[in-house]
Amino acid sequence: MICVPLLHRGRLLGIVQVINRLDGRPFSAAEERLVQALADHAAVAIANAQLYHEVEQASLTDDLTGLGNTRQFHRTLAKLLAGAQPLSLLVLDLDRLKPVVDTYGHLVGSRTIATVGRLIAEALRPGDVAARFGGDEFVVLLPRTDTSDARQVAERICDAVQTCLTPDGLDVDIRDLTASVGVATAPLHAADADGLFRAADAAMYVVKRARRNGVGVADVRFS
């Protein structure tokens, strides 16, 4: 048996193991050197693949919340629309974040947004995809989910935001913070990405103008 390390810049990436020659003879020193040379080339290739993956993930991740960013949202939405439906979309906007920022500053505002990102992630099911769309607006994609079930997820998120009293790691009162959420489902409310977003966004603004802290469902099909 030959075991050689996959090393790249002092970091162990794995082990290459070669066992049981067909003729049963021991491995030679030359064969060991050959395996080591192959392992060295493999280590470089693996390290480069990992670096590419890390860079790609960073380009799709929102730094503040750890959720996806707008780029990931658009990419995932297009992919899911091309697959099995129904596909539901939630558009969420925070209510009364400005008084938090005016009172405690932008650092607390950013921590509050990050906390909401965590609450959203914890409310989701396996396969759901959440992203920060910008500012204090979030989007959530719910594959194979009809409007009724999507509304339940949206209400769960609203309840989590409403009952959150302080941002993570800070002793600051944010009990007045709530969320307005709009729900739209493909193909019921729209058949394409732009129409689905506009339907959910419009439903969210209906809630925001009327009462805040609630869930609205799209009722107009956008062409």
Boundaries of every domain in the chain: 2-59, 70-217
Average pLDDT over residues 103-110: 96
pTM to 2 decimals? 0.76
pLDDT confidence of residue 148: 96
**CB contact at 8 A, 67 and 132:** yes
Mean pLDDT is lowest, of 4-18, 97-111, 201-215, for 4-18
Provide the sign of the torsion angle of the four alpha carbons 137, 143, 203, 149, taken in this order: negative
Average pLDDT over residues 153-181: 97
**CB contact at 8 A, 207 and 216:** yes
State yes or no: pLDDT of 168 exceeds 50: yes
Q: For the segment 40-87, what is each residue's pLDDT rounded down to a tens digit?
A: 889 889 887 877 666 666 567 998 999 999 999 999 999 999 998 899
Percent of the chain at pLDDT > 90 equals 74
Question: What's the per-residue H, E or C state across 6-36?
Answer: EEECCEEEEEEEECCCCCCCCCCHHHHHHHH
State yes or no: pLDDT of 221 exceeds 80: no
Indicate the CATH number of 70-217 among 3.30.70.270, 3.90.850.10, 3.90.1150.10, 1.10.8.60: 3.30.70.270
Of 122, 92, 113, residue with least CA distance to 174: 113
